Structure 1
Amino acid sequence: MREFEDLLRAEFEHYLSEVTLYFRCIDAERARAWREAAEVTAQYGAFLEALRRAPP
């Protein structure tokens, strides 16, 4: 096992680095999607308000 210690450590560190990048990417996309959903919700609310105020 000792003969593979350095290799295993390097592989594990690489894995942690890659999974951290992946989670950061997922977090950034989640934040972007929430911002987009908030914008669409606001636009839809404005649309409904315009309909409510429009003459029949």
Structure 2
Amino acid sequence: MSCARNAILALMIVATPAQAAVAAPCLAPERPFLPQSREDMRRYADLLRADFETYIAEVQTYFRCLDEERARAFVEAREGHCQVV
């Protein structure tokens, strides 16, 4: 398979609407605060649970961003390699 064909296939695989926008760095979410006291943990359990559910969703978004950036960098490296070879 030629370099041009590889590059086109790779772009088709990784192209997403998010990549059409200006590339932004993938920022890891901040871990929610946890009280030191078990009593406070019990008292604020509902609030803490909601904070961690939000955190887990943000971590998943962060991982998707990293995957997209890895794919973009792979395409960029492949294109550079094809130009050199």
TM-score w.r.t. length of structure 2: 0.49
Q: Alpha-carbon deviation of 1:2?
A: 3.1
Kindly name which structure, 1 or 2, has the bigger radius of gyration based on alpha carbons.
Answer: 1
Count of matched residue pairs: 45
Runs of 4+ in 1 over 2 A off after TM superposition: none
State yes or no: 1:18 paired with 2:58. yes
The one-letter code of the counterpart of 1:2 is R
State yes or no: 1:31 paired with 2:71. yes
Unaligned runs of 5+ in 2: 1-40
Unaligned runs of 5+ in 1: 46-56
Deviation digits for residues 16-41 of structure 1 (CA, Å, limit 9, x no counterpart): 01111111101101100001100110
TM-score w.r.t. length of structure 1: 0.72
Q: Percent identity?
A: 58
Deviation digits for residues 2-55 of structure 1 (CA, Å, limit 9, x no counterpart): 32111010011011011111111011011000011001101100xxxxxxxxxx
Q: Aligned Cα RMSD in Å?
A: 1.0
